[in-house]
Structure 1
């Protein structure tokens, strides 16, 4: 059987690519499993204090943190399209001026949105004096899909997304490069304050199962490519044998002459 070079190379290329992609998805799943283990470890660790000293995002993300300061309600931003229990609403993101002069953004919680008027903000309370908040350091206040700039243009109270670095430039504040996802207040006076915000945060999603699913899909495609190649080779070999048999002299059987007179 002759092996046709071009089809064989195509099959091998497809198999190499799909096998490599399967291993890549497996590695991504392992990375996410390690991240999930770290997140669990951080949740059980002591809270770190946030001050004016700059902290690198990679060193603080997903850690429990505490921060003392005063909220700046004049620079609040409402992040739209953040549903909770299938109800539309906002995330209330507000700068906190730290006691030592630094600043950090705080995702204070969820607020329901008016069905009739998107711009109508439901009432909630903001402490006017010093508070101490506790929460989880996150890279941002979650991101929602948007086309282009969408509702994230600067100087709008209601936006779709909020980038920390861009908002720091816009507000003129030396913000820490992360957002505190507030879980509650630390001081007893602030704890008694019913601010009207919901802080039932979803657990960070790592989607490990999705990566394993993609891994098996890619490897399944590699097996399918191998099966197709073997099937095509078998058909080609059968066709070659048939043609060879037909072209062999005498393969059509004996030729009978006329009967003797």
Structure 2
């Protein structure tokens, strides 16, 4: 087994060890993602069909939406500020391009809540319609689901449009406070003159994380097994009288 101390085999062993460790870590990462998704799905399953509660019991102007409050059903009563409507570009439904319309609903509590009123079909995903359907006028009661703000550069609001909803970014375009997060509208009372397509409910499946984790661990085991096989093959060749250098070269290059 002295050949294992050669430079070639030492480097080969280090590479296999690093590959195996990486595969184990990636597998663990996938299983952590699975656990996070199962936790999220548990909260959503409890929240999505629960009886609605007043929005000010769930959202706050000073507190981000925590995981356990996402997809809670809430009600909010107030008047829409149609002039402050923001168009969310690059929204598709069943492969069709469109936009979402987000309008602040000013409530008697002093703060306004952003309401994603629904989806509107457009010629392409980057189009900002010039003739937007108006929300219901006067006092409106909205029932819908709580959502957390988006993040990153996609939330920047330019010329009344954005790519992701953020109460912080949209709050810079109005002169009144907004609740953190927003609400995906389920119903409006009274209803709007033009009906928009309501939000799509989340997929509560666990996704491919479990099988991805197993695959990464399998790759790690395969790397270790392959190294072990090459060591065994090298010893077998040396016992049959082949030169160590030739045996090592042929073994390492074995597919």
Question: What's the TM-score once normalised by structure 1's chain length?
Answer: 0.78
Matches within 5 A, 1:221-236: 221-236=219-234
Report the Cα distance in structure 2 between the residues aligned to 1:8 and 1:84, rounded to whole angstroms.
50
Residues of 1 paired with 2:176 and 2:239: CA distance? 80
In the alignment, is the contact (CA less than 8 A) between 2:44 and 2:70 conserved in 1? no
In 2, the alpha carbon distance for the partners of 1:156 and 1:233 equals 66
Conserved 8 A contact 1:114-1:120: no
How much has 1:100 moved relative to structure 2? 1.7
State the alpha-carbon separation in 1 of the partners of residues 108 and 130 from structure 2: 29
- Equivalent residue, structure 2, for 1:170: 173
Matched ranges for 1:126-205 at <5 A: 126-140=135-149, 153-185=156-188, 187=189, 190-191=190-191, 193-199=192-198, 201-205=199-203
Which secondary structure does the structure 1 equivalent of 2:207 belong to? Answer: helix
Q: Which residue of 1 aligns with 2:52?
A: 47
**Structure 1 residue 17 corresponds to structure 2 residue 22:** yes
Are the counterparts in 1 of residues 88 and 100 from structure 2 also a CA contact under 8 Å?
Answer: yes
Contact 1:114 1:121 in 2 (8 A): no
Q: Which whole-Å CA distance do the structure 2 matches of 1:14 and 1:155 have between them?
A: 46
- Residues of 2 paired with 1:119 and 1:226: CA distance? 55
8 Å Cα contact 1:61/1:178 also seen in 2: no
Count of aligned positions: 234
- Change beyond 3 A, Cα 1:181–1:167: same
C-alpha change, 1:21 and 1:161, in structure 2 (3 Å) is same
Write out per-residue CA displacement over residues 91-113 of structure 1, whole angstroms, 9 at most, x where no aligned residue.
00111111121111110001121
1:165: how far off? Answer: 1.3
CA distance in 1, matches of 2:41, 2:194: 31
Indicate the SS of the match to 1:81: strand
Structure 1's 206 and 10: CA in aligned 2 closer, same or farther, altered over 3 A? Answer: farther
Bigger Rg over Cα: 1
- Choose which of 4, 7, 13 in structure 1 pairs with 2:12: 7
Instruction: Give ranges in structure 1 of 5+ residues lacking alignment.
Output: 247-261
Structure 2: any 5+ residue segments left out of the alignment? 245-255
Aligned CA RMSD, in angstroms, stands at 2.8
The equivalent position to 2:36 in structure 1, one of 19, 22, 31, is 31
Decide whether aligned partners of structure 1 residues 133 and 171 sit closer, same or farther in structure 2, where only a CA change above 3 A counts: same
- The 1:132–1:237 alpha-carbon spacing in structure 2 relative to 1, beyond 3 Å, is same
Residues 68-107 of structure 1 correspond to what in structure 2 (within 5 A)?
Answer: 68-107=77-116
Runs of 4 or more consecutive aligned structure 1 residues displaced over 6 Å after TM superposition: none
Whole-angstrom CA distance in 2 between matches of 1:181 and 1:80 = 16
